[in-house]
Amino acid sequence: MNNSAKNLFDLTGRVAVITGGIGLLGQQHAEAIAGAGGIPVMADIRIGSVDPQSTAFKERFGEEACAIEVDITDPASVKALLAQVLSRYGRVDILVNNAANNPKMENKAEVEFSRLENFPIEQWEADLAVGLKGTFLCSQIIGAEMARRRQGVIVNIASDLAVIAPDQRLYRKPGLTEEKQPVKPVTYSVVKTGLVGLTRYLATYWADYGIRVNAISPGGVYNNQPDDFVERLTKLIPLRRMANANEYQAAILFLCSDASSYMTGTNVVIDGGRSCW
């Protein structure tokens, strides 16, 4: 890569808030941004055992990276997050809306509640609160600060299930009656499809304010799911395997950097070809 091409991907000094930043993919997004010189702020409801002062954290995510506790479903908490970011760094350049309730149906023996007919309204509200309301609030509050400075990038993390319906045969468990067979919950499809709509809305709404907004729709990441599930899923994927956790880093880097300066309002599908079939 020549120097000018390299510069296109450079994020030196750019501050990136990543919601759900402590999760499986959040840490990958943070690593990608740090690798290009950016400063990841991992914003999560559970910071847990992660120690931003530790050498391991600094080596992986950079000297200036930090982790901040936030509940993205609460406007006051998101405002407090922004205030902390501005007081610490004086700017925010990138927002990666990554947090979501991510139900792992494939790991559960019997998830009767997941079925549409039984789906609890409390679960509907909880899933939409994180996936849609939370993404809206972060975009509204942090995006408004970007609009004020007339520059910024928002990346929404959707899913291959934003472009195709879940194939419920994947989640079937032997020995259960039809009414007890687990399914991918309806909220997952609703949240992820909604994010693609929100992406288009924000992209056009803030186009004149120097803010670009795009989505990524990742396919399933291999994370020690049961063998029978992996076997069934990979038959539906032309590349014949699930993704490695680090295989979305390049897309994050592309969409967060000036390399994608003429892209807004798009949904980049990275799914091993699954949605082609």
Interface with ligand NAD, residue 17, by CB under 6 A: no
The 10 Å Cβ neighbour count of residue 249 is: 19
Interface with ligand NAD, residue 194, by CB under 6 A: no
85: its two tokens: 């970011």
| Listed residue (2, 31, 35, 33) closest to 15, CA to CA | 33
Of 36 and 78, which CB lies nearer to ligand NAD in the complex structure?
Answer: 78
- The residue from 139, 159, 187, 267 that contacts ligand NAD (CB under 6 A) is 159
| Listed residue (19, 29, 28, 21) closest to 256, CA to CA | 29
Interface with ligand NAD, residue 71, by CB under 6 A: yes
212 DSSP β-pair partners: 153
CA dist 47 and 179 (Å) reads 37
CA dist 254 and 172 (Å) reads 37
Query: How many chain residues touch ligand NAD (CB under 6 A)?
Result: 25
Q: Give DSSP secondary structure letters for 113-177.
A: GGSGGG--HHHHHHHHIIIIIIHHHHHHHHHHHHHHHT-EEEEEE--GGGTS---GGGG--TT--
Q: How far is CA 239 from the centre of its chain?
A: 22
Interface with ligand NAD, residue 221, by CB under 6 A: yes
- Residue in the block written with tokens 């909604």: 194
215 DSSP β-pair partners: 156, 267
Interface with ligand NAD, residue 44, by CB under 6 A: yes
Of 15 and 22, which CB lies nearer to ligand NAD in the complex structure?
Answer: 22
| Listed residue (208, 193, 212) closest to 261, CA to CA | 212
Q: Which stretch binds ligand NAD (CB under 6 A): 67-75, 108-116, 137-145, 255-263?
A: 67-75
Interface with ligand NAD, residue 19, by CB under 6 A: yes
Tell me the closest approach of the beta carbon of residue 154 to ligand NAD, in angstroms. 14
Q: Which stretch binds ligand NAD (CB under 6 A): 18-26, 31-39, 205-213, 228-236?
A: 18-26
Interface with ligand NAD, residue 84, by CB under 6 A: no
Interface with ligand NAD, residue 106, by CB under 6 A: no
Of 149 and 228, which CB lies nearer to ligand NAD in the complex structure?
Answer: 228
- The residue from 38, 40, 134, 185 that contacts ligand NAD (CB under 6 A) is 134
Q: Which stretch binds ligand NAD (CB under 6 A): 14-22, 109-117, 145-153, 171-179?
A: 14-22
- Name the residue type at position 277: W
- The residue from 15, 16, 25, 138 that contacts ligand NAD (CB under 6 A) is 25
Contacts to ligand NAD by CB under 6 A: 19-20, 22-26, 44-46, 70-73, 98-100, 102, 130, 134, 157, 159, 218, 220-221
